[in-house]
Structure formats: C-alpha cells, structure tokens
Structure 1
Amino acid sequence: MNRNKKTIQLSVISVAALSVLLAGCSSDTTKTTPAASGTPAAATATASVPEVKYPTSFTYWVPMNANAGAVMKNYNEMAAYKEIEKKTGTKVDFQHPPTGQEKDQFNIMLASNSLPDVVEYNFASGLEQSASQSPDSLIKGKQILRLNELIEKNAPNLTKVLKDHPDFRKLITTDEGNIYVMPFLLGDEQLSVVNGPVFRQDWLDKLGLKVPTTVPEWETVLTAFRDKDPNGNGKKDEIPFFMNLTGDFDQNNLLVGAWGISTDYYNDKGKVKYGPIQPEYKEFVATLARWYKDGLIDKDYASIKDSKLKDAKITGNQVGAFSGYAGSGLGRYLTLMQPTQPSFSLVGAPYPKLKEGAPASLGQYTMPFTGYGAAVSAKAKNPEEIIKWLDYKYGQEGSMLMNFGIEGTSYKMENGYPKYTDLILNNPDKLPIAQAMAKYFQASWNGPFVQDKRYIEQYYTIPAQRDAQKTWTNADHTKQMPGISLTAEESSKTASIMNDVKTYRDEMFNKFVMGAEPIENFDKYVQTMKSMGVEDAIKVRQAALDRFNSRK
C-alpha cells in the first residue's frame, strides 16, 4: 500500500483555524474513582479495592470516522464514551479535524507545536514520512511522551495485555526502545484477514464450474465467463475480471502471490526483497498481459479511479470476479442486489496457487499493530492520570464498552457471549450496521483498545461473508513485512527513490499488461529500477528489518 508522506505546508489561515480548534487547556486537577471491577487491577486486589485517579478533563484530537460522522457530530455523543465518563468522572473535550483535512491538520499541529493533551492518529502511516515526524523524533523534540514508564506505573490493563502477548510489545516499540502510543491492537488472527478474491457463484453454477483454486483454473473460468453469456442477456458484455493495481495487488497480493512474491517489499526468511524486480514478476505480468489481450480483464481498468464505476459494473450484472472486503465489498453487493435480483450470489475464492500441489499463495494480512493509537502530548499537565483513563479501555469493563457498547441495549449476554441486539443488526431507523454500531461503540474502526473477534463474527451477518473470511485465511502470511521504522537519515535517503520507483513501476505495469511495452523488455525495466536506486532502498529496509528482529 502506498503511504507516502507529503511535505508539511503551513499557512497563516490554517494555523489560525487550528488555534480555534485547540482552544482550551488541560486540567491538572484529578478525580479519585474506584477501579473498575473486572479489570486486571481490580481482580488482583485483596483487602480493598484500589483507587484510581482519573483526570477531571483533558483535550483529545482524533479524526472522525465516516460511519460515526453520519450519526453524530462529536465522540461525546457515543454511548460508550458517555458510559466511560460516568465510570471515570472525566470530561473529554474531543476535537475532530474537518473530513478530508486530517493529515493537513496533523502536520500543522506538529509544525506549530500546538498539540492537545492526546492525539490519536497513525503515527507510522508511511516509511517515507518527514524525518521530523517519526515517533522517535517527536519524542526527542518533546512533542509527545515516551510512554514505557508511564504504562508500567499507570496502565495495569495494557501491561497485562503486553505480558500475555510479547509479540504485541515488539510491534509497538520503536528501534530506539520507545513506546509512543496507547495502541490499537487486533486481538485475534481472525481480525487480520478481511479482503480477498470474489466470484459470482450464480454464474459458476449456471456454467457448471467449480470455484477456481489455481491460476490455470482462473483462466478457464474467466474464459467461460467471457464466452458463455452467464448474465443471460444475449450480449457478449461480461467483464470476466475487474481489477485494479493498488487494491488487488498492492493490498492483498492477489495473483502475484501465487508466484511467492508481492508488488512491494516482502520478507523472504529474513531477507528483504522487492517484488517488481524479481524474475517471477515477469511471469505474473505476462499472464495478465495475455488475459488482457484475450478480453478476460476489464479493458478500462487503468482509467477507473472512482469506486462508483466499479459498483455500477458489479451491480449492473457485468462482472464475474473481483477482489474486495468481506464487509464493504461482498456483503454490501449481496445486500444491494437481493431486492431486485434474488439469484445474485457471491463466493469468496481461495487465493489461487500457481498450480495444483504448489505452495500456498500469499494473501492479505494486517499486522496486529500498524502504528495507530493515542499519543500523549509532552505539554499535558497530568499524563499519569490520562494514561490511567486510556488504560480503562484495555480492561474487561472498558473493552466491553468499546467493542459491544451498553449491555441490555446494544448487546445482551447469551451463554457468556455478547450478542448484538436488533438495535445494531436490524436497526429500527434503517441505519446500516456500521452506523448503528458507531452510535454505541468503536469496534468497527480503531482506537486505543484491543479489538475483539466477537465483533467481526457478528458484523459479518451473511454466511457468505464468514465463509469467505475462513477461505482467505488459508494463505501464506509468512512473507508479510512487519512494522519496520526508518531512521531520519534512511527516510531522507530513500523517500525520493521510492516515489520515482513506484511511479515507474505503475507506469510500466500498465504498458506491459496493455501490450504497449513488450514483455521481452522486462530486463531493461529492471535495470532502470536499479539505476533509480531501488537496491539502496532495499538495503535500507534490510537494516530496518534486522533492527526490528533484534528488538526485545
């Protein structure tokens, strides 16, 4: 996934607007509250329940999730946060940047050193970020706090999570040994796989075909989609495979993973490699070029940037195969089509192997921690109490609030399982499930808490969604690059290199696939990549991976 950082740009107007946004100061007065029952701290108490000092108030900057923004103006309106305020006595002043301006506002805050008490953001969203924006640099620059000692002394719930999952601690700690956020963590492997290939099950059934499991079987099925009129309109208007470079290949390794590589950097048993210069990439691109020439791929794929066009083609009964999320893709299309075309059905297909008996293909996988969480400003007057408040959400009581909301309202316990009520799953106001969830809790996006797999088990209300996720899980995730971090020097050295390399990669991908560049020129393409400095960028990431592997 391309996540390049842009150069910070300041304007007098933006800074002035931000000063209004950040108006108000933090409070250093605190309120003493009994520790929440069910948290590890409370569970280990013996003679008496320990008291926890929570802050009376503090400021909290966080981008507004789109589903939340559809049903509220401020996170203070969310039922979970209302309940947390009751439990802790803390009034949180949530500050949300305008939609679409989150990155700009974040950069302005850093450049002007005008951070509120807490900033929730993805602090590691791009390796080629400005050197001054790396978590270690922000700590050295006294903009955010190193949290290691604060967590150890004031966050028993998160401390227990990290003790139970040493891999989590390794992921949230920088090369310099700093923990910089109260992290958003995926609490189960099931939450890491949410995207994959999808086929029209009704088309397969009509043509007497099975779900393909290898690249040759894909070609056979796509050819049948092209030639045998599965949509039944008497026209040869089917699009066998709707594809796009970023979503299909960068994000989930579709098809390219059959060759054991990715379209970006990958970790081959401790050795960093860049997929687009590997010999296997030539075979991958040659296969797509043949499919494109034979009409198995949407001829307009390179010009389609708007998701609405994809929606129109899929709901217009034209597309036989595509890739997408189990929720916003497979599930949404099934829901959209059910009223007008009940026979419309989709199935999650396995990531295809190169051939029968070949090793498993690479698939989509999200690491348990990707850099998202809540940092505490170095200017906060009461960091210990703020950490205690944030830690509440990692305990039993807070975790239930963030993942399920209010017992008896948004969920009910059935045989020890928190089951969402019809207020969520069949909302009386006809709200989509994700928006109904957002009114009560935060599990459907992210935040400083541990996401519970029981959320996604119910978010996928359609059996085809749950089956797809299980199918996609059976892929190879061992080559996934972990959350490495670059030093300021490394970032500066490779930022322009990778901008040029990725631009050239995308340009040549389209030329190869569309036949504008003969595949015989692949070696020349690789040499051009090397002349751009891609080998230097590989060495930098190798050093970063070595540092990651040596983290304690």
Structure 2
Amino acid sequence: MRWNSLKKSSAIVLLLLLVIVTALSGCSDSKETNKDSQNQGNEEGAPLKEVTYWVSNNRPDTLKDYNDIAAYKKLEEITGVHVKFDHPASGEADQQFNLMMASGELPDVIERIWTSVPGGPEKYIKDNKIVKLNDYIEEHAPNFKMVLDEHPEWKKMISTDDGSIYSFPFLREADVNLTFYGPVLRKDWLEKLNLKVPETLDEWHTVLKAFKDKDPNGNGEADEIPLLLGTDGLTGNAFVGAFGITNGFYQVDGKVNYGPIQPEYKEFLQLFHNWYKEGLIDQEYVATDDALKDAKVTNNQLGSFMGYTGSSILRYMQLKGDDPDFFLTGAPYPVVNKGDVPYFNLGENNYNGVGAAITTSNKNIVETVKWLDYKYGEEGFKLFNFGIEGESYEIVDGYPTYKEVITNNPDGKSMSEALAMYVVAGWSGPIIQAKEYAEQYTSMPAQQEAIEQWKKGSNERIMPMVTPTQDESSEYASIMNDINTYRSEMINKFIMGEESLDKFGEFADTIKAMGIDRAIEIQQSALERYNNR
C-alpha cells in the first residue's frame, strides 16, 4: 500500500468512522452470522466501550502500558473505545498464553506472534478459542479488505494452510522496511588501520586480528574486543550462512534441510573455535547482556557485533555524539570466495507472524473488527506510523515528516524512544508499517551504508512462515524443544573448546537420535502446503 493509494480510501474511512460512531451510539441493530464456526459467541452486543487486550510484544522499557502511546490515546478520542491492556512480564508470555488458553478465560483481543503457537493458529480456530475472520473482513473491514485485494501475496502469508485469516496482522510496506539487521563494525577503526569493509571470511579474520593487535582505540592498552557473538554463540545467518546453511531449517530447491547436522556446520564451528582461541571473539560473550554490550560499545572496546539500524547504529551514534571519530558501518553477510553473492541477508518477509486475533469470548466481534480495521485506513495508517499531526509530524510536500520532538528530542530521548511516545511503528502491532517511517528512521548515512551492505544476499534458501498441522504440532514441539536445548549447549562448548570438534559426528548423531528426521519431514510437508496455498 502506497501513501497515494491510501488517499483513495478517504471515502471508505469517512464511511467507517460513521459506522463506528453509529455503533457506539447504540444504533446498530444488525445481526451477523459467522459462517465459519458453530459457536463464536455474541457478535454484536452492547455498544463497544472497552476492549480487553492481551499483548505479548516486547514494548520499550520507556512504556509501562500501551495507553501511554499518543496514537492509542487519540484512537480512544476518535472511537470512544478504551483499551484495557494486559502486558505479561518479560519471559513469561508463552507460559501465560498457554495458561490463559487452557483456562478459557480469554480477553477480547490477543496480540502475539501467532505463527509460533503450538499447533498453529488454525488449532485455536478449531478449538473455538479465536475467530476465523475471513467473512468478517469481507463484510466489515473495508480498509483491510482493500489491502489484501491489492496485495494477494500478503494474504497468502497471513492465512493458514486451510485458508483461514486469524488476525489483523503487522505488515511491512516496502523493501526499505525489510532490511534492518546485520554485521556492524567500527568504521573509524577500519579507516585508522587502512582496512576495507570485509566481505570474505579471510578478510574478516584480517580485520579482527588488526582490531586485536593494533590498538585502534588508541589508549595504549590491549583492551579491544574484535567480535561479540550472541549469548548462544550465534550471529543469525551471518558467518554460518557463508557455508550455505543456517542454524536451523533451510531449503534447497524445495527440499528442507537442518543446518547443524550438515558437514558444513562443523566447518563453521571450527572457524569460530579458532577465532575464539585467538582472542578474536569476546571471551565473555556468553555472559554479555544488552547492558554490558552497550558499555563495551560506548567505552570504545567493541570492534564488531550484530546490530540493528535503529537500536544499534542510530542509538550508539547518538550516544557517542560527543566523539567526532566514532562511526559505525555495516558489512555484507560474509562469503567464502571473493565476488560470491551471500546465500542470506536479513531481508525479512512483509509478515513476521505478529497479529491481533479476536477471541470467541468477545461479545462485540463485529464492532471490534471495525475498530481494528480503522488502523488500515488512511487516518489510522498515519496515526500509528507518525502520531499526531502538528505535534510529532507534519505533511511537507505530501510527505509525512517527523518533527524534532522525534528526530532531535529536546529531552535527550533517542529517536526510537521518542517514537515510542507516539506510535507502535518502531516495533510491531496490527498496522502496516509505512515506508516513510523506515526512510526517516534510517536516514543517517551510517544506517544507509549498512542497509546497502545487508541487502546483498539472495535469501533463496530461507524458509517461509510455515506451520505444522494440529496433529503434527505436539510431536514437532517435543522434538525441537529437546534438540534446541542440546544444540545451544553444545555450540558454546564447541566454540569455547570445552568439547572437541572431533565429537561433531556424535553431536550430529545425537540430534538424529532425538528425532530430527521426523522434524524435517514435518517441515517439508508444511513447506509444500505453504507453496500450495
């Protein structure tokens, strides 16, 4: 959906607002019949005044509640609907979700990553926990219906294998929204040491060795940390992707494989073990949380890491604004041979699995559908991407432009923190994330450089957003829970030398004995069903 095409829906939006006002006035007396379920609860009851809303997304630390966000405050003014948010504690979302679904005491709306639920969202439709939305969208969500009509590929992504639409999804609008994570390096250190941005694994080794040995921070001490891994010893699909595999499932010409049991995975682990032994990898990476990572970056110790355009490059550049030499840049996902196209990049799908589902406990299904649909019209699109016109943005030559309260916050907030005061576009929610948001959020030259580097991979081997069937789900979850725990434990042992890589064959055999072949079969079937949607 483009900005201009949104304007075409103005009449629809005005009509929608009239419908909402009518519903809120208690004038609606139409009765709807859900054609997809025998029992979905009352679809139209009392006028919609309050929505109970459980949301498991990680919200910024600056927010106690989504009602602190200006867009939601404004939405309440427009619709008269108050949202009672329930945010589970960090790390407890899945457990709370499972208990909630088992108890049957459900809120009106549940927002979460639905593609990761056991059994997939279709299970919860069949179990009469959430509402199948296809007919409701057709009849009561003109804005969202227009979006799906214009983007049939998005409709495929947000549907189940059975064709059910189960939520109002978070969708990223354009290519500029899809690339935001990858390898980050100190560009000023590269320039000081007369080095270029590394492309191959050998070039990475040269750069990391120079970072370690040649005192790029200039303090006369050997305190530089060349590369920081994640606490699980991984860096997404970077580095391991140079070998044509991933840390999980991937596909080659439609055939599903599991990376950690491939011979190439031993080569990857050997590489990281060698780098760790040479002191090129942070010796304390398993204990380095976000706060410690921040300290290592801002204290001029860390030379490279995996990071985001916003919360890493933008934020660190702002935090180090008093250091004119501090500069970050991105590197492409590494390859083995110079000139090769990386197998992977971070280019993500337009849909990441997050959506707002309506539960069968909701007594005002139709009105809730209309309320959620508002976000996909022109006014809702602007409200949840840019905030309050005249306060957080203004239209300049037809372009929604953030004001200084966002781009240069007078209270010293970073741009991501300032955005969180107004909109949810900085993370996710039942909206379309605008390309104009991404263009302005990544307008810094360092961010632009990084995006250009991170875009270079093909991603042909990435798995789409597939889901097991309800029957397969419990078996698959049982297999992969055990395998993931074992894999994570052994990866760190191999990298740090606590376990010899001579035992890689035993490692792969153990994963096979734990049922990986069956998990691959389930993923293969899910891939074929997805391709046939």
Tell me the TM-score normalized by structure 1: 0.85
The structural deviation recorded for 1:420 is 0.4
SS at match of 1:371: strand
The structural deviation recorded for 1:211 is 0.9
* Map of 2:298 onto structure 1: 315
For 1:82, the aligned partner's letter is K
* Map of 2:158 onto structure 1: 172
The answer to whether 1:451 aligns with 2:433 is yes
Q: Deviations over 1:149-203 (max 9, x none)?
A: 1001111111111111111111111112211101111111222221111111111
* Map of 1:118 onto structure 2: 109
* Map of 1:52 onto structure 2: 19
SS at match of 1:319: coil
The structural deviation recorded for 1:242 is 1.5
* Map of 1:94 onto structure 2: 84
Q: Which range moved further: 494-503 or 261-270? A: 494-503
SS at match of 2:352: coil
Provide the rounded CA distance (Å) in 2 between the counterparts of 1:288 and 1:338: 33
* Map of 2:281 onto structure 1: 297
Q: Is the 8 A contact 2:393 2:402 kept in 1?
A: yes
SS at match of 1:240: coil
The structural deviation recorded for 1:314 is 2.1
Q: Is the 8 A contact 2:273 2:494 kept in 1?
A: yes
Provide the rounded CA distance (Å) in 2 between the counterparts of 1:292 and 1:298: 7
SS at match of 1:430: coil
SS at match of 1:529: helix
The structural deviation recorded for 1:85 is 3.4
Provide the rounded CA distance (Å) in 1 between the counterparts of 2:146 and 2:71: 22
* Residues 239-388 of structure 1: pairs in structure 2 closer than 5 A: 239-244=225-230, 246=232, 248-249=234-235, 252-301=236-285, 303-339=286-322, 341-388=323-370
The structural deviation recorded for 1:377 is 1.7
For 1:378, the aligned partner's letter is T
For 2:116, the aligned partner's letter is S
Q: Which range moved further: 255-264 or 106-115? A: 106-115
* Map of 2:518 onto structure 1: 536
* Map of 2:169 onto structure 1: 183
The answer to whether 1:211 aligns with 2:193 is no
The answer to whether 1:393 aligns with 2:375 is yes
User: Residues 66 and 182 (structure 1 numbering): CA distance in 2 closer, same or farther, change over 3 Å?
Assistant: closer
Q: Deviations over 1:206-241 (max 9, x none)?
A: 111111111111111111122222122223222211
For 1:163, the aligned partner's letter is D
For 1:270, the aligned partner's letter is G
* Map of 1:475 onto structure 2: 457
Q: Which range moved further: 98-107 or 267-276? A: 98-107
User: Residues 97 and 79 (structure 1 numbering): CA distance in 2 closer, same or farther, change over 3 Å?
Assistant: closer
Provide the rounded CA distance (Å) in 2 between the counterparts of 1:255 and 1:50: 50
Q: Which runs of 5+ in 1 are unaligned?
A: 1-36
Count of paired positions: 502
User: Residues 226 and 436 (structure 1 numbering): CA distance in 2 closer, same or farther, change over 3 Å?
Assistant: closer
Identity within the alignment, %: 45
Q: Is the 8 A contact 1:78 1:440 kept in 2?
A: yes
User: Residues 387 and 270 (structure 1 numbering): CA distance in 2 closer, same or farther, change over 3 Å?
Assistant: same
Q: Is the 8 A contact 1:365 1:480 kept in 2?
A: no
SS at match of 1:323: strand
* Residues 64-79 of structure 1: pairs in structure 2 closer than 5 A: 70=62, 73-79=64-70
The structural deviation recorded for 1:66 is 6.3
Q: Is the 8 A contact 1:143 1:378 kept in 2?
A: yes
Provide the rounded CA distance (Å) in 1 between the counterparts of 2:88 and 2:507: 42
Provide the rounded CA distance (Å) in 2 between the counterparts of 1:501 and 1:84: 45
User: Residues 174 and 294 (structure 1 numbering): CA distance in 2 closer, same or farther, change over 3 Å?
Assistant: same
Q: Is the 8 A contact 2:112 2:355 kept in 1?
A: yes
For 2:304, the aligned partner's letter is A
Provide the rounded CA distance (Å) in 1 between the counterparts of 2:459 and 2:316: 27
Provide the rounded CA distance (Å) in 2 between the counterparts of 1:453 and 1:248: 30
Q: Is the 8 A contact 2:480 2:519 kept in 1?
A: yes
User: Residues 64 and 433 (structure 1 numbering): CA distance in 2 closer, same or farther, change over 3 Å?
Assistant: farther
Q: Is the 8 A contact 2:318 2:414 kept in 1?
A: no
The answer to whether 1:200 aligns with 2:200 is no
The structural deviation recorded for 1:69 is 6.1
SS at match of 2:421: helix
Q: Is the 8 A contact 1:75 1:94 kept in 2?
A: no
The structural deviation recorded for 1:124 is 2.3
User: Residues 381 and 98 (structure 1 numbering): CA distance in 2 closer, same or farther, change over 3 Å?
Assistant: closer
* Map of 2:99 onto structure 1: 108
For 1:147, the aligned partner's letter is L
Q: Is the 8 A contact 1:39 1:395 kept in 2?
A: no
SS at match of 2:116: coil
The structural deviation recorded for 1:257 is 0.8
Q: Deviations over 1:353-385 (max 9, x none)?
A: 111132324122332222211111213222122
Provide the rounded CA distance (Å) in 2 between the counterparts of 1:422 and 1:300: 39
Q: Deviations over 1:403-444 (max 9, x none)?
A: 111222211111111100112112233333223222222211
For 1:57, the aligned partner's letter is K
User: Residues 253 and 246 (structure 1 numbering): CA distance in 2 closer, same or farther, change over 3 Å?
Assistant: farther
Provide the rounded CA distance (Å) in 1 between the counterparts of 2:519 and 2:58: 35
User: Residues 312 and 377 (structure 1 numbering): CA distance in 2 closer, same or farther, change over 3 Å?
Assistant: same
SS at match of 2:82: strand
Provide the rounded CA distance (Å) in 2 between the counterparts of 1:321 and 1:160: 44
For 1:99, the aligned partner's letter is A
User: Residues 299 and 64 (structure 1 numbering): CA distance in 2 closer, same or farther, change over 3 Å?
Assistant: closer
Q: Which range moved further: 483-492 or 458-467? A: 458-467
* Map of 1:29 onto structure 2: none
Q: Is the 8 A contact 2:226 2:302 kept in 1?
A: yes
Provide the rounded CA distance (Å) in 2 between the counterparts of 1:378 and 1:64: 19
* Map of 2:53 onto structure 1: 61
Q: Is the 8 A contact 2:143 2:373 kept in 1?
A: yes
The correspondence for 2:122, drawn from 122, 128, 136, is: 136
For 1:94, the aligned partner's letter is K
Provide the rounded CA distance (Å) in 2 between the counterparts of 1:234 and 1:427: 36
Q: Is the 8 A contact 2:310 2:416 kept in 1?
A: no
The answer to whether 1:415 aligns with 2:414 is no
* Map of 2:470 onto structure 1: 488
* Residues 420-439 of structure 1: pairs in structure 2 closer than 5 A: 420-439=402-421
The structural deviation recorded for 1:104 is 4.0
Q: Is the 8 A contact 2:215 2:224 kept in 1?
A: yes
The correspondence for 1:513, drawn from 492, 495, 498, is: 495
Q: Is the 8 A contact 1:58 1:117 kept in 2?
A: no
Q: Deviations over 1:115-169 (max 9, x none)?
A: 222222222235xx3x4xx322221222211001100111111111111111111
User: Residues 70 and 307 (structure 1 numbering): CA distance in 2 closer, same or farther, change over 3 Å?
Assistant: closer
Q: Which range moved further: 53-62 or 169-178? A: 53-62
* Map of 1:28 onto structure 2: none
